[in-house]
Amino acid sequence: MTVRFAPARNRARLIGWYAQGRGLVHLAQVSAANDDGDGALPGTGFDPLLTDALRHFATHGLGVVKAALDEAEHARAAGDTEANAHWLAITGMFDRRRAAAAIGKTASA
């Protein structure tokens, strides 16, 4: 999959700017879909769990679910319930059924 980055404001993306200059049409601008316009700093509006999940995916690729379940199992064995819940939440972002099965296994143990 290719990713193309385009500037939010580009003269080539203005629809009808030649015609608008002659007064034939009103100027309409196509904006990028992620432009909120609220002036927030980049990176402040993201969910930290989503950021961790994406970093985990970047590290482990398609084996992300198994790696996250392994991390959850290590945390559970160490008695770290907070880390276990964190890794199960990351697992749930990729495969909800396996995360639910792991939560059920944890609750029954």
Domain ranges of the chain: 1-33, 48-108
Q: What are phi and psi of 63, to 5 degrees?
A: -90, 20
What pLDDT was estimated at residue 5?
A: 65
pTM over 0.75: no
Short-list 86, 83, 88, CA closest to 104: 88
Q: Mean pLDDT per segment of 10 residues, for the chain of length 109 residues? A: 63 53 52 54 70 93 95 94 95 94 81
The predicted pLDDT at position 92 comes to 94
Q: In the numeric block, which tokens belong to residue 6? A: 């385009």
- One-letter amino acid of 103: I
Strands 14-15 and 28-29: what pairing?
antiparallel
Closest to 97 in 3D by CA, of 65, 52, 51, 53? 65
Per-residue model confidence (pLDDT) at position 46: 73
What is the CB-side half-sphere exposure of residue 89 using CA atoms within 13 A? 13
